[in-house]
Amino acid sequence: MKQSALIQGGASGLGQALVDRALKSGEFERIFVTARNPDRIITGDSRVIPIELDFMSDTLIQEASVKVASHTDRLHLVVTTAGILQDESVGVRPEKKLADLTRSKLEFVFSVNCFGPFLWYAALGSLLRHREPLIVATLSARVASVGDNRLGGWHSYRASKTAQNMLTKNLSLELSRTNPRAVIVGLHPGTVDTDLSKPFQTGVSSNKLFSPEQSAAYLWDVLKNLTPERSGQVIAWDGQTIIP
């Protein structure tokens, strides 16, 4: 049976490399690809359905979900890549100390990294509520682990992804009640050479800095080997579970 995939943030970085993987797999008859600017989505393949989506807009979240539902009544793979660490246009930088916190910057980072993905899943509604195999994977980060936090700092980024991980766990429990084949996970992609990491790559050795294609290949392997027992976990590029 041909399936439907939905990749949020598929016009750049890891998201774009994951769209390539999904296309090459031949498993999907359609792949919904979202971006804030849909003109940046590569549409050379007829299976790609481009959709505008900005997590800062409730209207666009609703409209995008309606567009997906106009093509299919169920999704089998849902990957969400949205992540903000730094955005100079709004003065957001990873905080080094508590005094750097402001309400507006916290709200901005949480809106993209945590509220956005889960308001999106709420809007997708019945598209996720079926009894066929389903994977929902949200890009998280190792720095979201409370147990692994030895450096501190990066308050809003870390905390937004930690809260994201809690919602991943909650969604996994909720969907498991009606679909034992649903697998809901967070993913840590490693340190990847994208716009997000560019200002922070000093000191990362070249063998620990993945290209987006390399990380997407690792993550694709992780996705292919998921079992329902792992639902609710955050899983790294090498398949290891990250401690909460």
Ligand X SMILES: NC(=O)c1ccc[n+]([C@@H]2O[C@H](COP(=O)([O-])OP(=O)(O)OC[C@H]3O[C@@H](n4cnc5c(N)ncnc54)[C@H](OP(=O)(O)O)[C@@H]3O)[C@@H](O)[C@H]2O)c1
Which spans of this chain sit near ligand X (rule: CB under 6 A)?
Answer: 9, 11-15, 35-36, 54-56, 81-84, 112, 116, 139, 141, 188-189, 191-192, 194-197
Please provide residue 128's backbone torsions phi and psi, each rounded to the nearest 5 degrees. Answer: -100, -5
Nearer to ligand X, 12 or 165 (CB): 12
Min dist CB 198 to ligand X, Å, is: 9
Q: How far is the CB of 109 from ligand X (least distance, A)?
A: 10
Q: Which is nearer to ligand X, 12 or 65 (CB)?
A: 12
Reported residue count of the chain is 244
Name the minimum Å distance from CB 86 to ligand X.
Answer: 9
**Smallest distance, Å, CB 60 to ligand X?**
9
Query: Based on CB atoms, which residue is closest to ligand X, 106 or 176?
Result: 106
Cα–Cα distance between 82 and 36 in angstroms, integer?
10
What is the closest distance, in whole angstroms, from the C-beta atom of residue 62 to ligand X in the complex? 14
Q: What is the DSSP string of 172-217?
A: HHHHHTT-TTEEEEEEE--EE-STTTGGG-TT--GGGEE-HHHHHH
Pick between residue 57 and residue 176 the one whose CB is nearest to ligand X: 57
In the complex, minimum distance from the CB of residue 170 to ligand X, in angstroms, rounded to a whole number? 19
> Residue 30 carries which DSSP code?
E
Q: Distance between CA 191 and CA 210 in Å, rounded?
A: 6
Residue type, 60: L
Q: Which is nearer to ligand X, 132 or 243 (CB)?
A: 243
Residue nearer to ligand X on the CB measure, 195 or 238: 195
Q: How far apart are CA 220 and CA 225, in angstroms?
A: 9
Distance from the Cα of residue 185 to its chain's centroid: 10
Look at residues 192, 173, 191 and name the one whose alpha carbon lies nearest to residue 183. Answer: 173
